[in-house]
Amino acid sequence: MKLEIFTDGGCLGNPGPAAIGVVIKDGAKTLKTLAKGIGQGTNNIAEYTALIYALQEALILKADEVSVKTDSELMCRQVSGVYAVKHENIKPLFEQVKHLTAGFKSFKIAHVPRAKNSEADALVRSVLKKASQDGCCDAHGVAEESPSSKG
């Protein structure tokens, strides 16, 4: 199975309450969406966490080919090997991504403009908006999954 995955991560402040958004597609069909608070973090931690969740979901779905689209140019270039990972908090996340990608016959990651990542971006914004409206200090525990992901 070949999947196209859109990921995004963000936070209120940097660091601050953080959230992830993931959209997994098989052709034009959306198989799963994930919107989840991850507690306090930076934008980069949220971006990597979104990618990790996405790759784990792809493995659960038994995908053998994965094409990831992200609006994080930094993460894309780090995962592609163009940039080194220098920040100590990101290194373990990077290593986990590399470990997970070994589970696929084919793995590609590409940077896309935010406008082309609007579904994943909207998922992140929805979690962060709910967290800020609830007056909580972080977005941990706020999660939504698409109906198609529960079957």
pTM, full prediction = 0.89
Q: What's the pLDDT band for 136 if we cut at 50, 70, 90? A: low
Q: What local confidence, expressed as pLDDT, does residue 143 receive?
A: 45
Q: What's the pLDDT band for 141 if we cut at 50, 70, 90? A: very low
Q: What local confidence, expressed as pLDDT, does residue 31 receive?
A: 97
HEC per residue, the chain: CEEEEEEEEEECCCCEEEEEEEEEEECCEEEEEEEEEEEEECHHHHHHHHHHHHHHHHHHCCCCEEEEEECCHHHHHHHHCCCCCCCCCCHHHHHHHHHHHCCCCEEEEEECCHHHHHHHHHHHHHHHHHHHHCCCCCCCCCEEECHHHHC
What residues contact residue 60 under an 8 Å CB cut-off, 6+ apart?
A: none
Mean pLDDT computed over every residue of the chain = 91
Q: What's the pLDDT band for 140 if we cut at 50, 70, 90? A: very low
Q: What's the pLDDT band for 131 if we cut at 50, 70, 90? A: confident
What percentage of residues in the chain have a pLDDT greater than 70? 89
Single out the residue of 55, 134, 53 nearest to residue 101, CA to CA. Answer: 55
Q: What local confidence, expressed as pLDDT, does residue 137 receive?
A: 45
- Choice between 108 and 140, residue whose per-residue pLDDT is larger: 108
Q: What local confidence, expressed as pLDDT, does residue 63 receive?
A: 98
Single out the residue of 18, 3, 13, 19 nearest to residue 123, CA to CA. Answer: 19
Give the HSE-up count for residue 149: Cα atoms under 13 Å, Cβ half-sphere.
Answer: 17
Q: What local confidence, expressed as pLDDT, does residue 147 receive?
A: 42
φ, ψ for residue 60, nearest 5 deg? -60, -40
What percentage of residues in the chain have a pLDDT greater than 90? 84
**What is the dihedral sign for C-alpha 30, 110, 49, 134?**
negative
Whether 145 shows a pLDDT value over 80: the answer reads: no
